[in-house]
Amino acid sequence: MTFSKALADKDYETLRTMPKSDLHNHATRGGNIRDFFDDVDLPKRDFTNLDEMQQWYDANIKYKFSGQEGFIARVESAFKQAQHDGIRRLALSFGIGDSIHFASLEAYFMAIRQLHQTIAPEIDFIPELCLGRTSNIEPVQDMFDEVIEYDFFKSIDLVGDDRDSVANYKSIYRKAKSKGIILKAHLGEFGDAESVRKGVDVLELDEVQHGIAAATSIEVKNWLRTNDVQLNICPSSNVMLNRVPSYEIHPIKELFHHGIKVTINSDDMLIFDQSVTQDYINLFESGCMSANDLNTVRETGLLLR
């Protein structure tokens, strides 16, 4: 059975097993909440900004995890969830802060490799370095220079308030590019369309995490299409953070039909509780996108760039 037919027939169990990608997944928040809570009875996920989301996560989930054991449990769950959901290309984003739970950076990276090989060796795993936006760039540069020598990360992402300038990260991204690392950054989730174009231009990005604000500007849409920039979109995250009113009018449809490469991703499943498969279903059942269009999106995520 084809992916499109499984969607059209609402054969969602078959749909779950079909190959998909997840290229926007924060590793310690990428697992299934049912791995840790027998009875999922959590307050409503209703956020207007990232601070509210973080407060909800801290109060309802994060307290359960601590130290090396807590880190490993969450990453293990992320790999298991990806495997269960038919994910074949998986970019998991890691910060360096969690390395404090290990004897060395080498031990930290080895633990992640072992989890991949033990749980889901069939998955094309793309370890991603997650950097936080800051004006104090020197410590970040020093850390990056040390980390990059281990040749572990194959992708880089920049998180935080995506309305802030990214210009001070230019030298870091140049070094990453010289190593053949995939260049990404969070843009256009809270910022406007022009901030997407500027961020891509300054950092020479290959892909944008979110980027949905680009849908409001014909000039930016044209620019993204011409420059072959891929947007790794997280529909449930956008809806639950009130960046988009509903799945039915999600801008992924407009971006896709404008010829921009888009993918569907989970973002923080431990918070949003929506798998990649479920988001395909959400977009299809809402009438936002057709089964054939969603299959094209799926195939885009499986292509090597």
| Residue at 14 is within a domain | no
Round to whole Å and give the CA distance between 301 and 172.
26
Q: Does pLDDT of 204 surpass 90?
A: yes
14 in Cβ contact with 80 (< 8 Å): no
Strand 230-233 and strand 87-94: the pairing is: unpaired
Q: 67-84 vs 105-119: helix axis angle to the nearest 10?
A: 30
pLDDT at residue 42 in the model:
79
Highest mean pLDDT out of 3-12, 56-65, 199-208: 199-208
pLDDT band per the 50, 70, 90 thresholds, residue 92:
very high
| Residue at 289 is within a domain | yes
Q: The domain that contains 282 carries what CATH number?
A: 3.20.20.140
| Residue at 38 is within a domain | no
| Residue at 44 is within a domain | no
Q: Does pLDDT of 127 surpass 90?
A: yes
| Residue at 55 is within a domain | no
Distances in Å between the Cα of 259 and the Cα atoms of 224, 227, 229, 281 are: 9, 11, 11, 22
| Cβ-based burial of 76 (10 A; exposed 0-12, middle 13-18, buried ≥19) | middle
Q: For the chain, how many structural domains are there in total?
A: 1
263 in Cβ contact with 234 (< 8 Å): no
State the average pLDDT for the chain: 95
Q: Does pLDDT of 282 surpass 90?
A: yes
**Domain with 105 in it:** 3-8+19-32+62-302
**pLDDT tens string 40-52:** 677 888 798 889 9
Among 164-168, 181-185, 250-254, where is mean pLDDT lowest?
164-168
Question: 57: number of CA atoms within 13 Å, CB side?
Answer: 18
| Cβ-based burial of 248 (10 A; exposed 0-12, middle 13-18, buried ≥19) | middle
Q: Does pLDDT of 304 surpass 80?
A: no
| Residue at 80 is within a domain | yes
| CA dihedral angle for residue 274, residue 276, residue 281, residue 287, rounded to 10 degrees | 100
Average pLDDT over residues 88-111: 97
pTM given for the model: 0.96
Distances in Å between the Cα of 42 and the Cα atoms of 28, 150, 162 are: 19, 40, 28
Token duo for residue 17: 């097993």
| Residue at 37 is within a domain | no
Alpha carbon 52 to its chain centroid, in Å, reads: 19
pLDDT band per the 50, 70, 90 thresholds, residue 148:
very high
Strand 207-210 and strand 182-187: the pairing is: parallel
Q: Does pLDDT of 219 surpass 70?
A: yes
Q: Does pLDDT of 277 surpass 90?
A: yes
pLDDT at residue 39 in the model:
60
Round to whole Å and give the CA distance between 179 and 163.
27
Name the residue with higher pLDDT: 200 or 304.
200
| Residue at 75 is within a domain | yes
pLDDT at residue 48 in the model:
87
